[in-house]
C-alpha cells in the first residue's frame, strides 16, 4: 500500500510540476506583439472653371421717419427685383439675406452721440444666384442701374462638385501611396497591408470670392467679369503595417 501511494504521489507531483513549468511557456506564446504601423497623409487638388456665381447687393435708404425710409427702400427694391426678372433671373434665385431698420442719432459739437433721433435708415440686402455666367455682367448692371446702392462681393462656385471631389480624393490616395513608398524605402522598411484609411478635414470646394469695385455703370457696355478657376481639394490619411 505504501509503495502504491508513493508512486501515485510521485505521479501527481510530476504532473503538477509539469503544469507549473508548461504554464509560463503557454502565457508567453499568447502575448503576440502588436504590428508596427506607419501613418501617411496625402493631398489631392483639382481645378475647374466655375459655372455659377452668387452676388450680394441691396438698397440703403434714409429719411426723417421710419415710414418714409421704408417706403423709399421698398420702391427701390421693387425696381431691383423687376430689373433682375427682365434679364431672366428667376424668383427662386433671389433671396433676402438681411433687413434692418435703425434709428439715426444726432451728435453734439464734440462728436458724441446724443439721445435725439434725427432720422431712420432702412437696409435691405439680397443674395442673387446667377446660374448662367453669360448673364453675370448684365445682372451687375441691372442691380446698379435699378437702384442698388450697397454692393457686396461675387462668389464663383461649381454647381455640382461631386465628380471633381471624387477625382480629388483619388489624387489624395495616390499622393499618400507615393509618400508611403518613399518613406519606407528611405528607412529600409517594407510596406504591409493597409489597416485604415480616412479623410482629413473639409473636402467641400472653397468658392472664389471677388470684390465688386464699381458702384455705378460706367458706360453703356456690359460690365466685364472674369470667373477664373475654382480649386477643389481633398485630404486622406492612410495607415500601413510595416516590416
Closest CA to 194 of 79, 38, 3, 21: 38
Does residue 22 register a pLDDT over 50? no
DSSP string, 122-174: EEEEEEEEES-GGGHHHHHHHHHHTT--EEEEEEEE-S--HHHHHHHHHHHHH
How large a percentage of the chain has pLDDT more than 90? 62
The pTM of this model reads 0.65
Q: What would the pLDDT profile of 125-148 be if each residue is shown by its tens digit?
A: 999 999 999 889 989 998 988 889
Find where cell 477643389 sits.
232
pLDDT band, very low/low/confident/very high, at 151 (cuts 50, 70, 90):
confident
Closest CA to 172 of 37, 46, 48, 38: 46
* Boundaries of every domain in the chain: 1-32, 37-47+163-203+236-242, 52-157
CATH 3.40.50.12280 fits 37-47+163-203+236-242, yes or no: no
Q: What is the distance between the alpha carbons of residues 188 and 180, in angstroms, rounded to a whole number?
A: 12
Set of cell numbers at residue 9: 504521489
What is the pLDDT, as a whole number, of residue 29? 52
What fold does the segment set 52-157 form as a domain? Alpha-Beta Plaits (3.30.70)
Set of cell numbers at residue 173: 490616395
Amino acid at each position: 500500500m505504501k509503495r502504491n501511494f508513493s508512486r501515485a504521489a510521485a505521479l501527481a507531483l510530476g504532473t503538477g510540476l509539469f503544469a507549473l513549468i508548461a504554464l509560463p511557456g503557454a502565457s508567453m506564446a499568447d502575448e503576440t506583439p502588436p504590428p508596427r504601423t506607419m501613418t501617411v497623409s496625402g493631398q489631392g487638388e483639382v481645378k475647374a472653371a466655375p459655372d455659377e456665381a452668387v452676388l450680394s447687393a441691396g438698397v440703403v435708404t434714409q429719411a426723417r421717419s421710419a415710414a418714409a425710409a421704408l417706403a423709399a427702400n421698398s420702391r427701390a427694391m421693387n425696381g431691383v427685383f423687376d430689373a433682375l426678372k427682365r434679364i431672366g433671373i428667376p424668383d427662386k434665385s433671389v433671396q433676402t439675406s438681411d433687413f434692418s431698420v435703425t434709428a439715426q442719432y444726432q451728435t453734439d459739437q464734440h462728436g458724441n452721440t446724443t439721445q435725439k433721433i434725427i432720422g431712420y435708415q432702412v437696409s435691405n440686402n439680397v443674395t442673387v444666384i446667377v446660374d448662367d455666367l453669360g448673364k453675370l455682367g448684365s445682372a451687375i448692371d441691372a442691380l446698379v442701374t435699378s437702384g442698388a446702392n450697397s454692393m457686396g462681393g461675387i462668389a464663383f462656385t461649381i454647381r455640382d462638385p461631386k465628380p471633381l471631389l471624387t477625382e480629388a480624393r483619388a489624387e489624395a490616395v495616390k499622393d499618400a501611396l507615393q509618400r508611403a513608398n518613399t518613406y519606407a524605402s528611405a528607412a529600409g522598411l517594407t510596406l504591409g497591408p493597409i489597416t485604415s484609411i480616412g479623410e482629413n478635414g473639409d473636402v467641400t470646394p472653397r468658392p472664389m470670392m471677388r470684390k465688386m469695385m464699381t458702384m455705378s455703370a460706367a458706360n453703356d457696355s456690359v460690365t466685364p467679369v472674369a470667373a477664373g478657376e475654382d480649386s477643389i481639394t481633398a485630404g486622406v490619411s492612410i495607415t500601413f503595417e510595416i516590416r
